[in-house]
Amino acid sequence: MKSKIFKLLFFISLIFAFGCARDFDIPPLDIPKATITANTTILELKQAFPDALEQVGVKPNGENYIIEGVVIGNDVEGNIYKNLMIQDSTAAITIGINSTDINSTYRIGQQIVINCTGLYVGLYNNLQQLGYETDDGTGITFMLSTLFAEKTQLNGLPAYPIDTIVGDIASLPTTFPALMTYQSQLFVFKDVYFQNGGVWLYTNSGKNTTRYIFDSEGNKLAVYNSSYSTFANDTLPSGTGNVVGILSYFKNSYQLLMRMSSDAYGFKVTD
């Protein structure tokens, strides 16, 4: 009897010791905390540098321009190329980064803080964005990923709430002051349908392709699809549903950039 009790106690002690060892081996969760604080909203930054290309200097009081925002768009499924979109309560901005693996560090829902001084704000086909000047100094392009990492700090884990604006295709403004607010925001367009939904694919023959969604009044909005996206060869959903995306801009018109295939949801075919 004593032998059985001893064996049982020995077995329990092994389980306890093993459990303690497992607990001891688990490293503590490393939660990043930014050491710089925003002193400028995204809209204020865009308004301060409205020209085709300007280098961000310092504020009148000598401080750097520092913004913060939550990641709302990246290259998670390959439809957005070398761009990161962040938003705060005032506006959103597209950031050009020379990297094809942005999502691995800057995930959707991650808050980041950026020291913008030394970077450039400019227009790329009339889309206002943050980046760096081209080699010839005449336009804006992607900044080096190492430079962006130097300028940017993560704050917390990717769990910050994201505001999605309910859009109305017919009411999208086109004045430049309004574009500063609307461009690069995350929108959802409800009760819309794809032209030739259920028949066409998102892209044609491995090429970047523009499709269109329509509302019940016949107003249309371009939806840009990259041939490198994971859903490039999927069939457009049929029926009527909702489409989420970054409200981008190209030359003189809006275009929607879906971030992932699940951004088109709730589609139903009705008689």
- Give the global pTM: 0.89
In this prediction, residues 234-259 reach a mean pLDDT of 98
Nearest Cα to 262, choosing from 238, 239, 247, 245?
A: 245
- Confidence at residue 211, expressed as pLDDT on a 0 to 100 scale: 98
- Confidence at residue 197, expressed as pLDDT on a 0 to 100 scale: 98
Per-residue pLDDT tens digits for 162-193:
999 999 999 999 999 999 999 999 999 999 99
Nearest Cα to 155, choosing from 32, 30, 29?
A: 32
Which carries the bigger pLDDT value, residue 26 or residue 267? 267
> Is the pLDDT reported for residue 23 higher than 70?
no
Catalogue the E-assigned strands of 100-205: 111-115, 120-124, 127-133, 140-141, 143-144, 152-155, 165-166, 186-194
Q: Which helix (H) or strand (E) holds 20?
A: helix 2-25
- Confidence at residue 29, expressed as pLDDT on a 0 to 100 scale: 78
- Confidence at residue 21, expressed as pLDDT on a 0 to 100 scale: 47
- Confidence at residue 9, expressed as pLDDT on a 0 to 100 scale: 47
Give the angle 245-251-256 at the CA atoms, nearest 5°. Answer: 10
Which carries the bigger pLDDT value, residue 28 or residue 31? 31
Confidence at 206, pLDDT banded by 50, 70, 90: confident
Pairing label, strands 140-141, 111-115: unpaired
> Is the pLDDT reported for residue 15 higher than 70?
no
* Average pLDDT of the chain to the nearest whole number: 92
Per-residue pLDDT tens digits for 33-77:
999 999 999 999 999 999 999 999 999 999 999 999 999 999 999
